[in-house]
A = this chain, B = another copy of it.
């Protein structure tokens, strides 16, 4: 891994153009707000959006991407299946993948999880409290034991994902639900982090704790230089009788 990870922040970038409430909070798009939080610590951050050619995720863009962050919500179905396979393949080859909030329902995340990734939800601007259940995990660096998101869309269990390899955060919701909010996975050589908080009508990506999580998650997900396995017909390494 390069010392400074190169990040591509992907956004479907539709809400911001179509909904004035969203445009007020994220005038340049959610992707720019997320990108700013990562640039602040010196990461090399680019952005890509749905309506660009190949959704901005060309082979050459991905060649230069250590970690891809993904925000999508209302246009998951418009993501081309070829790009979905390209992204999933890159993750298996080692690219980090940080999936944000409603990205739980994005095609590449579902493709990599193998499950429906369904959940309960409610949009009522209620309190969420995020608890750090693995304080020794690198993604918990610099965080408090718990912090509040004052106005959040609720996501509640059952979250239909494979049991995470590491569970870093749990959320409590005012309305009575809980959620596994910070979930680590490895698929192929790639590290995947799903992070629940974040929404288009609340300024959650401005919140310091959220920014800290995303900075940590990118650092954790950035690829190393472990071996690229050989697959296929293979000669013996020892004499066979």
Give the interface of A toward B (CB within 8 A): 88, 92, 94, 111-116, 118-122, 124, 126, 129, 131-138, 140-146, 154, 156-160, 162-163, 165-167, 170-178, 180, 185-191, 223-238, 240-241
| A142 contact set on B, CB distance < 8 A | 225-226
- A226 and B137 contacting across the interface, CB-CB below 8 Å: yes
| A135 contact set on B, CB distance < 8 A | 158, 189, 226-229
Question: A54 CB to closest chain B CB, in angstroms?
Answer: 22
| A185 contact set on B, CB distance < 8 A | 162
* Also in contact, A180 and B133, with CB within 8 A (given A124-B236, A163-B186): yes
**In the complex, which of the residues B140, B170, B174, B177 contacts A226, with contact meaning CB atoms closer than 8 Å?**
B140
**In the complex, which of the residues B160, B191, B223 contacts A188, with contact meaning CB atoms closer than 8 Å?**
B160
The 3 A-B residue pairs with the shortest CB-CB distance, nearest first, are: A175-B236, A176-B237, A136-B189
- B237 and A140 contacting across the interface, CB-CB below 8 Å: no
* Also in contact, A163 and B176, with CB within 8 A (given A115-B187, A225-B141): no
Determine the residue in chain B with the shortest Cβ distance to A143. B227
- A120 and B232 contacting across the interface, CB-CB below 8 Å: yes
